[in-house]
Amino acid sequence: MNDAAMLGAAHLHLSRQGRALLDDVSLELPRRGAVALVGPNGAGKSTLMQVLAGQLAPDSGGVTLQGRPLKALDVRARAQRLGYMPQRFEPHWDVTLLDLVQMRLADPARAAQVLAEADLQALGERRWSTLSGGERARGMLAAVLATDPPVLLADEPGAALDVQHRLALVQALARRGRERLVVVVMHDLDLAFECFDRVVVLHAGRVAMDGAPADLLHAPQLDAVFGVHFERIAVAPNTLLRARSLTSKDKP
């Protein structure tokens, strides 16, 4: 493993009821950079995120954080180093945003400062049920990042957001990638290829493609993985993907 790797996965295997969710997945993720994890439904993106976050133990293989096996770190130490934003988050009790940030911090007195830095101080006393989807996403991100973890793993953080809030959130995550490691599961391929430094494409539990967006965008394998024929539309300085038709094997 590369000494410079912040987060590493080596030969991860995970099966449930005879179905391989992760099949020999290996990754090396650097100390800084914005990495998008994409793939069709059921490719294993969320499972991989849970394994990388230490929420799920693989059947074999292992995850390392800063060169140390993740499972050797206790939960508290892991929480300090890894920020994990799950796909769905709905608290059982109607806490305020300030409560949420305080729960993340060892020193709750810093919570107000964290909210101020995220420009969310006006929402601090608002209960979760009264926040909009965009406010919830921003609030949750502020809570996860309150300890300034060197690694952020976010599982479809913009899934429930409108286009404006989704773009703002993705851009904020990509900006963080200049200083820290950010890994984000995404379904929006255009944003993934436009905003991130590196794209990892998962298919059937395996890493199908891994590289810089410009290197992957024109590869025919991308069409095969998603089961569609993409039209590449040049909109300077980017190239947009538009699904034109299903590949023959997936036609109804």
Among residues 99 and 188, whose Cβ is nearest to another protein? 99
Find the shortest distance in angstroms from Cβ 231 to another protein.
38
Among residues 3 and 74, whose Cβ is nearest to another protein? 74
Find the shortest distance in angstroms from Cβ 119 to another protein.
22
Among residues 135 and 210, whose Cβ is nearest to another protein? 135
State the residue for tokens 């429930």: 160
Find the shortest distance in angstroms from Cβ 203 to another protein.
25
Among residues 94 and 250, whose Cβ is nearest to another protein? 94
Among residues 51 and 228, whose Cβ is nearest to another protein? 51
Find the shortest distance in angstroms from Cβ 96 to another protein.
8
Are the beta carbons of 32 and 177 closer than 8 angstroms?
yes
Among residues 84 and 230, whose Cβ is nearest to another protein? 84
Are the beta carbons of 81 and 73 closer than 8 angstroms?
yes
Identify any residues that bridge with 29 across adjacent strands, giving them in sequence order: 7
Side chain identity at residue 228, one-letter code? V
Side chain identity at residue 3, one-letter code? D
Find the shortest distance in angstroms from Cβ 84 to another protein.
4
Q: Which residues contact another protein by CB under 8 A? A: 50, 53-55, 74-76, 78-80, 82-84, 86, 89-96, 99-100, 103-104, 144
Are the beta carbons of 136 and 96 closer than 8 angstroms?
no
Find the shortest distance in angstroms from Cβ 48 to another protein.
15
CA atoms within 13 A of residue 172's CA, in its CB half-sphere: 17
Cα(27)–Cα(201) distance, rounded to whole angstroms? 12
Find the shortest distance in angstroms from Cβ 75 to another protein.
4
Among residues 128 and 226, whose Cβ is nearest to another protein? 128
How many angstroms separate the Cα of 210 from the Cα of each of 27, 28, 66, 173? 9, 11, 21, 19
